[in-house]
Amino acid sequence: MALKDKVFEKLNHAFGHFISGQTLAEDFGVSRNAVWKAVKALEQDGVDVESVHNRGYRLNPNALVKSRIESVIPDGIKLFLMRRTDSTNSEAKRLLAGGFCGTGLVVADEQTGGRGRLGRSFYSPPGSGVYMSLIIKPGFGISDAVFITTAASVAVVRAIEKLTDKKPQIKWVNDIYIHDKKVCGILTEAVTDFESGSVESVVIGIGINLYSEAIPDEIKNIAAGLDDESVNRTELIGAVITELSVVLSDLKHADFMEEYREHSLVTGKKITYTHGSMSGEGIVTGIDDFGGLTVETEHGEITLRSGEISVRLGMDR
């Protein structure tokens, strides 16, 4: 095994903790200079190693390392880890078009063309967020597919609650908010079979901002990061994908709907909605068993199944 690989194994094992150059040199019976060169070679391979004078070397705790991520996601999910891509959802769709037919997870450190709902973009600078897309073969009808989006929101909420003491809320349909600012967006896309028109695969794209300081000034009033230094990206990916696997296995019963309702940011609030060419105002009265938003308007109660709402946060009714 090359020295750089041995150094990587050691640093990976001590993940997040420093090991001095002297210790590494002694362990491998080489000079400190040889260790330094091995670290430089690792960096050239794209491994994010921090070197601090008098402390030594460590893998950046936020680094995305394939073997680490593989160890925290459920078995049977093939991982595609990328340093940079336009969009992990687009990458997932390219994989499917190229014949990939299993359950897969595309993770990127950076997206140059991250996509959001309704043609919006999702800002995805390097090292500052979790950008990932899970590819699943649903094996169910399109009627159950409506729950995927709600299920994914609940999975993200559970993961954040598991790893932090934050209180995430869901803004219908599937944005996750903390303290009235969006920290996560979800973009679910179905890939249909051209011949039969049936849903072949579903790509569930999840973007979580880690740091508020990385959010551009022009959207700082509406978006924020998780801002919890104790959480690293690997843990977050593991927790979200694990929870996602749990909720996706319950799509038939959709037991998670109650949890979705409990975390609703908009229930009881005054909103404006747009749905195609239709728009209006009303008070959100609840969320039905199929994830539809029930809204009391001046013309009576309506149920929104898709579309977009905006809400004045921090104000009731």
Beta carbon of residue 289, minimum distance to ligand BTN (angstroms, whole number): 24
Please identify which residue in 122, 147, 177, 256 interacts with ligand BTN, judged by CB under 6 A. 122
**59-to-9, 19, 25, 31, 51 alpha-carbon distances in Å:** 10, 10, 17, 20, 9
Least Cα distance to 62 among 159, 153, 138, 127 occurs for 127
Choose the binding region for ligand BTN from 33-41, 108-116, 162-170, 234-242 (rule: CB under 6 A).
Answer: 108-116
Q: Give the residue with the Cβ less far from ligand BTN, 57 or 177.
A: 177
Contact call for residue 80 and ligand BTN (CB under 6 A): no
Binding-site size, ligand BTN (CB under 6 A): 19
Contact call for residue 120 and ligand BTN (CB under 6 A): yes
Q: Give the residue with the Cβ less far from ligand BTN, 57 or 169.
A: 169
Contact call for residue 87 and ligand BTN (CB under 6 A): yes
**77-to-92, 97, 105, 224, 276 alpha-carbon distances in Å:** 13, 18, 7, 30, 37
Contact call for residue 172 and ligand BTN (CB under 6 A): no
Contact call for residue 104 and ligand BTN (CB under 6 A): no
Beta carbon of residue 109, minimum distance to ligand BTN (angstroms, whole number): 12
Q: Is 305 left (phi over 0), alpha (psi -120 to 50) or beta?
A: alpha
Beta carbon of residue 88, minimum distance to ligand BTN (angstroms, whole number): 4
Contact call for residue 225 and ligand BTN (CB under 6 A): no
Containing 296, the helix (H) or strand (E) segment is strand 293-297
**188-to-49, 116, 150, 196 alpha-carbon distances in Å:** 34, 9, 10, 21
Q: Is the sign of the CA dihedral 57, 61, 65, 69 positive or negative?
A: positive
Least Cα distance to 226 among 242, 207, 243 occurs for 207
Lookup: tokens for 193: 């079979």
Contact call for residue 133 and ligand BTN (CB under 6 A): yes
Please identify which residue in 89, 150, 169, 234 interacts with ligand BTN, judged by CB under 6 A. 89
Q: Using an 8 Å Cβ cutoff, are 261 and 286 in contact?
A: yes
Please identify which residue in 8, 64, 80, 88 interacts with ligand BTN, judged by CB under 6 A. 88
Q: Give the residue with the Cβ less far from ligand BTN, 4 or 263.
A: 263
Q: What is the DSSP string of 74-127?
A: -TTEEEEEEEEES-HHHHHHHHHHTT--SEEEEEEEEESS-B-GGG-B----TT
Please identify which residue in 4, 58, 115, 233 interacts with ligand BTN, judged by CB under 6 A. 115
Lookup: tokens for 104: 């897969």
Q: Using an 8 Å Cβ cutoff, are 263 and 256 in contact?
A: no
Contact call for residue 138 and ligand BTN (CB under 6 A): no
Q: Give the residue with the Cβ less far from ligand BTN, 57 or 260.
A: 260
Choose the binding region for ligand BTN from 36-44, 110-118, 161-169, 266-274 (rule: CB under 6 A).
Answer: 110-118
Contact call for residue 187 and ligand BTN (CB under 6 A): yes
Residues that bind ligand BTN (CB under 6 A): 87-89, 111, 114-117, 120, 122, 131-133, 185-187, 205-207
